[in-house]
Each structure stands twice: as C-alpha cells, then as structure tokens.
Homo-oligomer: A and B are copies of this chain.
Amino acid sequence: MSQHPAAIVESTDIGPGTRIWAFVHILAGARIGADCNICDYVFIESDVVVGDRVVIKSGVQLWDGVTLGNDVFVGPNVTFTNDPFPRSHHHQERVGRTTVKAGASIGANATILPGVTIGERAMVGAATVVTRDVPPDTIVVGNPARISGYVGAKPSVSALPRAVLTAPGAAPTSVRGVTLHRLPHAEDLRGQISFCEAERDIPFPVRRHFVIYGVPGENIRGEHAHRRLHQFLICVAGSVRAVADDGATREEFLLDDPTVGLHLPPMIWGVQYKYSPSAVLLVLASDYYDPTDYIRNYDEFVQLTAGER
C-alpha cells in the first residue's frame, strides 16, 4: 500500500498494492482490497467493503452499506446514497445497502439510489441516475436509467431480412444451436396468416405456450437459461429484442415480423428487452412448467456451459 501524506487513513484493512492519493479520507473499519486506486477527495465510511483491483476516481464517497466487487470502476463525482428519504437528524434504522458486482463500471457523475444492485460487468453511462437493479452485462443510460444495450453483443440487426431466407426454413446464428426460422406465410387481400407445425416447422413438440405483452419499454423479461426446455419465440405484434448467449458468444436479434421465429435450445441464456409499446411475444415451449429447469444465475450458467466449449 502506498499513501499520499495528505491522505487520512484510519482503516487498517487495506490490501497490498493499493494506492491512496491526496485528501482521501478512509474511516476505521472500512475493508479495501489489493491493487486498488483511490483518487483524491474520496471519502470511505466504516461499513464499506471494496474488492481487489477497484478504481475509485475523485469526488466519490462510499457511505455505510456500499459494497464494491472486484475490478469495479467508479468514475469521478459518482454519487452513492444510503437513505431513500433523508431528513436531517432523523434516525435511520438501517441503511440501504448498495452492491456493485464484479467487473461493473459506473460512469462519471452518475447517481446511485439506495438499495440497488448493479450486476456483473454492467456499464452505467455518465450522468445516469440508477433507480433500480441493473442486470448483468447491460448498458444503462438516462434519468432514470434504462437499458440501451448489452455488453459484448453483436450489433443488433433485423432478425432475418426477407432477402436472405425467402422460403420457409431455418438459418444458423453465431450462437451454438440457436436458429432463426422463416415460417410458412400466406397473404391475400383479406389479411395475413403465418403458421407453423410442431415437429415440422418447429423442431420440437409443443406442450405449452405463453404470451407476453404490456411490457413497459424499459423492462426486460427472460434473463435465464433452461436445462432441458426448448423455446421458440415469435413476436406477433410490435417488436422486441432478444439476446441469445451460449456462455461464449452472444448475439442480439430484432424480432419484428410474425413470420420469423427464434429457436432457443436448452443451455442458452436468453434475455428479451426493448419491447415496443404494442409488442406481443408468443413463446412455444417443449414441456410443461418446471421451476427446477431454470438457471437464473449467469455465473452458474457460464460454469455449466464451460465443459461444452
């Protein structure tokens, strides 16, 4: 640990290799990991845990209740909070606990409301106001924060340009086992109809379907993988973006055409977001509902798929 002479460090729990710059003030009890970089004018209260290799730029305060995972980046003047309804000298029974998971970055001058969790590798844009949990690997911006993209996903493209697959059939994607399908379709003056037959157009028998609608635009649905279940997604009204991830490769699809289906086989992490106001997503599934089939933790998912790569 190196410490600037103008810094005040009352904690004794600071890891090796961590550099502490001028005018920093760290209270006793705070736990700081190794190889961190704590810039000028950073203030850290007692009930705070900071992981290894964390960068905290100038003008940041870490109040009681804040936990930063390994490899977190906190930009300059980022503002944390721990009281949802602050009043002078009101006794706050328990502080709002804020957690920033490993690898996440928080852009300059962002504001983090109390009690939220920022997921692994998420990227919070500059001046963003985070009012609720940020999912792993998402990019959020705005006031209040909304998801604007996924870290590392290939650029979003129209799912299946009509020119590419004009006849019914399937096309592979960059994600293992995930296929895009052009469904049989008929159109006449009386309107349009798309149809598909289980075990023919869809590569599994259909035992269950569900319909998702009325999703506010800033929300995501999905965000999990299945161990054994096959799913087939068709956006029958409006549009939605679907991210598919096999643990190594991630691709984002714009579903906006009732004649396009996206097949998500087992062991694919799926996320749907950016629902248009009128979006209706039809999901056909290969089996009945089974809560034990869900993998809801992305890190667990990556571990499970590691053997397959």
| A interface residues with partner B (beta carbon < 8 Å) | 6, 8, 21-23, 25, 35, 37, 39-41, 43, 53-55, 57-59, 61, 63, 71-73, 75-77, 79-81, 85-89, 103, 105, 107-109, 111, 113, 123, 126-127, 129, 142-143, 187, 189-200, 206-216, 219-221, 234, 236-237, 258, 275, 278, 280, 282, 284, 288-289
Contacts and interface: CB of A to CB of B under 8 A. Distances in A.
Nearest to A51: B88
Chain A at the B interface: SS class: loop
A211 B189 contact: no
Nearest to A21: B25
19 contacts: A23-B25, A37-B89, A41-B43, A71-B89, A72-B88, A76-B79, A76-B80, A79-B109, A80-B108, A86-B107, A88-B105, A109-B111, A127-B129, A189-B216, A191-B212, A192-B215, A194-B210, A196-B209, A198-B207
B75 A77 contact: no
Contacts of A288: 197, 200
Count of chain copies: 6
Contact of A198 (B143, B192, B208): B208
Contact of A221 (B81, B190, B200, B210): B190
